[in-house]
Amino acid sequence: MKVENFLEKHEIREVNLVKKLVLNGGEVSHNDMVDYLDVSRASLDKDLASLAYRLEPFKESVRVDFDGPMITLFMSNEFSLAQIYQVYLKESVKVKIISYLYRHQEFSIVQLTQKLMISESSLFRKIKELNDYLKEFQIKIRNGRLQGEELQIRYFYYQFYWYVSDKPTSAAKKNDDQVAKLLQATTNFMGINLEPDGKERLKVWLHISKNRVNSKKKIYKELRRLMEPYMEDHFYQKMRSMVLRYFSRYSIEVDEEEAMLHFVFMLAFPVLTEHDFHEYTLLRARRAPIATIDTYVVETIIIHYNFRRLPYMLEREMFYYLSQIHAKMYFLKGAMEVYEYDTILSKEKQFTGKDLVSFAEQLRMISIGKFEIEESTEDSLLKMELLKYISLLAIVTFSMTKIKKVGIDLKMETIYTEALNHLLILNMRHINGIHVEKYQPKKDYDLVLTNAAIKDNSAYGKAEVYVLSEILSPFDMKNIQNIIQNLTL
């Protein structure tokens, strides 16, 4: 599910219009924008006028000019695309439906139409659209309630309040003494220390849990099945004891499954610090599904790259990230696509290469097979986890890559050589795993860049030599980056 699915079609176009401007340096011609949005010029003009009206209250921070031949974006340093999304999401009827459901648990058609000031037919249409998107979470709005597995309902609300609803004003962010006490009890009883981000995530989750704890007709069938291998897990047992004790103080009867829900959340999201997670791994059952896949994937990575062994801290870091990836895949369905998948993937390919992306896909398919997951094109979670595998592999390769030395040996007048050396070094600064400098005959290099034809390669020892066709040309820079990627494999 994408965040933009909460918007109307014309609103999605308006936000995508701004996104296109951001991706193109803040300026796009009218004709190119017509092609990008696949609309008529009249429709584009209408969208631009609507966008300008929406942004009018923020004109000191952002505006879009479109009177001339180009559409131009002006945005202050403190403003961003995410804030433009919030301008639209705050007015979204679909967002208001979810917010109302969260606060009241259920609704009648009469209540909600009056609250939202829309017709019954409009409300039914919005609910149908929402249900189409909620399908991947395996939940749905039916008979005035959000129905499905309790884990999936809370997971969806967490994604909603973390990524969609404006955080400072959301129901999940208000100060609450009971939630503050539960947060403190969790950290004290479990013996964990939370970073600010982890504490904020847990706070949102606990608000949602407090809101849902007395809900009727909660379903735990799938959660119980998935938790079977973890019933003796020491972290779960500790969590169970803490949850049951805490709620008994307030005379609130909770099921054992309440502890299961908290256990899943702590494993699947970056709440625990790497140190606390490592302490957990020392005691967790190694044959439990997530631990088994974690180990299998780490071993697969070691074999693939022919590493003899990994540095201790790097291996710890890998297990930390892999466990979150695999916990999500094992326990949860669906995801909120916050980042543009294709854009992120293309950037990952640009800096890591196609081979790494292909290997990441192989790891993802291994996990899907081991967990016996039925892959669905509707499930954004499995798609987005690929990006995390790619990021993990990038961390590993960058950490294990030996720095490659690149020497620049330009045969030109000194005044040109000095200036162009600096320009080449600046242009190659973004390439990871290399050290670039002016060529020095007594040093060894992995790659030498020159602009003169080479008669005898032995002059540069064992270094690979690349002769520049045109200094700083995109053609040469692309070839150099490919050579460096091959050198680091």
Does position 228 have pLDDT exceeding 50, yes or no?
yes
Query: Which is more confidently placed, 198 or 307?
Result: 198
Q: Using an 8 Å Cβ cutoff, are 333 and 138 in contact?
A: yes
274-278: which pairs have CB atoms within 8 A and are 24 or more residues apart? 274/316, 274/317, 274/320, 275/193, 276/192, 276/193, 277/319, 277/320, 277/323, 278/316, 278/319, 278/320
Give the separation between CA 403 and CA 168, rounded to whole angstroms: 44
Q: Which residues pair with 63 in a beta bridge?
A: 74
Q: Using an 8 Å Cβ cutoff, are 352 and 393 in contact?
A: yes
Quote the pLDDT of residue 461. Answer: 86
Global confidence as pTM: 0.83
Place of tokens 């950037």: 347
DSSP three-state, residue 219 = strand
Phi, psi of 216 (to 5 degrees): -90, 155
Domain range 404-488, CATH architecture: 3-Layer(aba) Sandwich (3.40)
Average pLDDT for 221-232: 96
Q: Using an 8 Å Cβ cutoff, are 156 and 138 in contact?
A: no
The pLDDT tens digits of the residues spanning 9-54 come to 999 999 999 999 998 889 999 999 999 999 999 999 999 999 999 9
Phi-psi region of 324 (alpha: psi -120 to 50; beta: other; left: phi over 0): alpha
Give the separation between CA 269 and CA 229, rounded to whole angstroms: 20
Does position 172 have pLDDT exceeding 80, yes or no?
no
Segments making up each domain of the chain, as ranges: 3-89, 149-265, 286-400, 404-488
Query: Cα separations (Å) of 256 from 50, 231, 259, 260, 261?
Result: 51, 11, 6, 7, 9
Q: Using an 8 Å Cβ cutoff, are 237 and 213 in contact?
A: no
Quote the pLDDT of residue 171. Answer: 47
Q: Compute the chain's Rg from CA coordinates.
A: 27
The residue count of the chain comes to: 489
pLDDT band at 488 (very low <50, low <70, confident <90, very high): low
Of the candidates 316, 163, 181, 201, the residue with the CA atom closest to the CA atom of residue 242:
181
Cα dihedral sign for 190, 395, 382, 21?
A: positive
The pLDDT tens digits of the residues spanning 77-119 come to 888 888 999 999 999 999 999 999 999 999 999 989 999 999 9
Domain range 3-89, CATH architecture: Orthogonal Bundle (1.10)
Q: Which residues pair with 409 in a beta bridge?
A: 450
Q: If you average pLDDT over every residue of the chain, what do you get?
A: 89
Q: Using an 8 Å Cβ cutoff, are 136 and 379 in contact?
A: yes
Q: Using an 8 Å Cβ cutoff, are 50 and 10 in contact?
A: yes
Helices (H), 58-195: 81-89, 93-104, 109-116, 120-134, 150-159, 177-190
Average pLDDT for 258-272: 96
3-89 and 404-488, same CATH topology: no
Helices 354-370 and 380-400 cross at an angle (nearest 10°) of 130
Q: Mean pLDDT highest for which of 47-51, 335-339, 376-380, 409-413?
A: 47-51
What would the two tokens of residue 5 be?
A: 């699915």
Of the candidates 151, 159, 134, the residue with the CA atom closest to the CA atom of residue 331:
151
End-to-end CA distance of the chain: 36
Quote the pLDDT of residue 173. Answer: 53
Of the candidates 128, 92, 65, 76, the residue with the CA atom closest to the CA atom of residue 10:
92
Number of H helices, E strands in the chain: 21, 9
CA triplet 229, 234, 239: central angle to 5 degrees?
100
What would the two tokens of residue 354 be?
A: 């196609």
